[in-house]
Amino acid sequence: MTPFDRPPVGMNLARTSKVVAQAFDAAMAEVGGTLPVWLTLLSVKSKELANQRELAGMIGIQGATLTHHLNAMEAQGLLTRRRDPENRRVHQVALTEAGEALFEKLRLAAVAFDKRLRAGIPDDRLAEFAEVLAALRRNAEPPQS
């Protein structure tokens, strides 16, 4: 058996990731959200008042991209930004009532999607899968010098 008798792990993972991401995006869209909005609301909700730099890092995007998302979300009344009284160069981000309501809708959609994704897979296999994914992430990172 050669390594290419079955699809390479990376190719299979990339294809699966794309399908899962598209399905998750569709689940978010059904309730009026997007993945960037969900990640932003989740990140803000998980930290009482995250500043924009920390928020960008938690979401995994550049500051300019985050600013674009935050501007749109602030215009929609989903969050507020204010200057940190301790450091005027830092903006603190907080959810509004509308942001809290959208967060809850998206949270329920994310939980339902996760349940759908896990259907028929025993917990012990999911735990093993999580370990394999963590190993793949580690193996994909550049070597430390």
**Residues 6-60: pLDDT tens digits?**
778 888 899 999 999 999 999 999 999 988 899 889 988 887 555 677 777 777 7
Pairing state between β 79-84 and 50-51: unpaired
Return the higher-pLDDT residue of 139 and 93: 139
The rounded percent of the chain whose pLDDT value lies above 70 is 94
Cβ pair 58, 66 in contact under 8 A: no
- Residue among 131, 145, 140 at smallest CA distance from 10: 140
Residue 117 neighbours by CB under 8 Å, 6+ apart:
20
69 touches 37 (CB < 8 A): yes
Across residues 65-76, what is the average pLDDT? 91
| Nearest-angstrom CA–CA distance, 92 and 94 | 7
Q: Which helix (H) or strand (E) holds 58?
A: helix 52-59
How far is it, in rounded angstroms, from Cα 42 to Cα 69? 14
- Predicted pLDDT of residue 50: 57
pLDDT at 2: 61
**What is the model's pTM?**
0.80
Residue 143 exposed, middle or buried by CB count within 10 Å (0-12, 13-18, 19+): exposed
Selected residue with higher pLDDT from 91 and 79: 79
Residue bearing the bigger pLDDT, 78 or 35? 78
Of the candidates 107, 92, 84, the residue with the CA atom closest to the CA atom of residue 37: 107
